[in-house]
């Protein structure tokens, strides 16, 4: 059974139509559209559902665990993220700037693995931000069906307003909005839920550096040493995606080993493959999608013992 988001059900329903067209037997895949508090709640509570694999917010993940406790079904959770994307002083800046833009602005930032915390070494931070800000401001917003569009709208007016509210949150806590932070005033975008690519500089424990915004909104943090970068990276409750940009592979492997995240990209970001496990730690959930690790979440190990000669155990012989 598949329960799509109530905000975006049409793509899932189209997949169900295609499955029927190519000959999937009726009942093999069942689409269950509806709201989380009705359809989702019922699936989590129902004893006939043996496993829930959920992708979404940490708050909803907690509700699913609570609803499923009565039947002890297996639950796999792929939840929120606040990915640290760390750029060291020896990084290839051209690659890192483009990679950082992809990490946060791809899919309008609506990705759990987004590199939403940009952690910059103080030696290269000013140059990086100057170039990164110009790149962000140049991103073409528009109709997602237009091949010239580089960034489309968010999924709803409510979500757009939530993302935009974080610019006020940043300012209240002493942060600086460097680029964006508002809805674009461009002809043709009036009826869409658009947000300009937004760059905000803040402190590691500010709300914009701790809470998942889930939009084209990146928080910039500065560091002076590897230890400080690692402390910043691990200073949230989330642990899904993370990234490192450096020419020193010894440093990269040491940092990747110490970052509390289920995935770490070195000199790239948001690379995925069906053979590589996908998932997080902490408030980013548990269990894995893809790879052999995912197969374990859908199977049960059993033990079957066969006595091939069927003799009576010697300690019970008379």
Q: Mind telling me the catalytic residues?
A: 78, 112
d(CA 48, CA 35): 20
**46, 72 Cβ separation under 8 angstroms:** no
C-alpha distances in Å from residue 196, one per residue of 157, 176, 258, 288: 14, 16, 34, 33
How would you classify residue 154: left for phi > 0, otherwise alpha for psi between -120 and 50, otherwise beta? Answer: beta
d(CA 170, CA 194): 19
Report the alpha-carbon angle 48-50-53, nearest 5.
Answer: 125
**252, 298 Cβ separation under 8 angstroms:** no
d(CA 138, CA 92): 21
Instruction: Quickly list DSSP for 72-123.
Output: T-EEEEE-----EEEE-TTS-HHHHHHHHHHHHHGGGG--TT---EEEEETT
């Amino acid at each position: 059974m598949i329960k799509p988001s109530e905000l975006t059900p049409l793509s899932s329903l189209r997949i169900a139509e295609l499955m029927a067209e190519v000959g999937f037997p009726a009942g093999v895949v069942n689409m269950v559209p509806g709201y989380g508090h009705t359809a989702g709640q019922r699936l989590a509570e129902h004893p006939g559902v043996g496993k829930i694999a959920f992708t979404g917010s940490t708050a909803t993940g907690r509700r699913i665990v609570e609803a499923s406790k009565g039947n002890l079904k297996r639950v796999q959770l792929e939840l929120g993220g606040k990915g640290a994307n760390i750029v060291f002083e020896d990084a290839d800046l051209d690659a890192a700037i483009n990679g950082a833009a992809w990490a946060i602005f791809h899919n309008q930032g609506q990705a759990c693995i987004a590199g939403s915390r940009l952690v910059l070494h103080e030696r290269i931070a000013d140059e990086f931000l100057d170039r990164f800000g110009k790149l962000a401001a140049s991103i073409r917003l528009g109709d997602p069906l237009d091949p010239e569009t580089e960034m489309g709208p968010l999924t709803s007016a409510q979500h757009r307003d939530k993302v935009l509210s974080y610019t006020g949150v940043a300012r209240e806590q002493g942060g600086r909005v460097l680029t964006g932070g508002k809805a674009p005033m461009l002809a043709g975008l009036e009826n869409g839920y658009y947000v300009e690519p937004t760059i905000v500089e803040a402190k590691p424990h500010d709300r914009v550096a701790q809470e998942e915004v889930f939009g084209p909104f990146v928080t910039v943090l500065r560091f002076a040493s590897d230890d400080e970068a690692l402390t910043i990276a691990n200073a949230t409750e989330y642990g899904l995606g993370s990234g490192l940009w450096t020419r020193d592979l010894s440093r990269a492997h040491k940092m990747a080993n110490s970052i509390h995240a289920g995935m770490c990209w070195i000199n790239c970001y948001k690379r995925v493959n069906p053979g590589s496990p996908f998932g997080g730690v902490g408030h980013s959930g548990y269990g894995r999608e893809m790879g052999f690790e995912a197969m374990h979440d859908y199977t049960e190990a059993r033990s079957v013992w066969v006595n091939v000669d069927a003799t009576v155990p010697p300690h019970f012989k008379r």
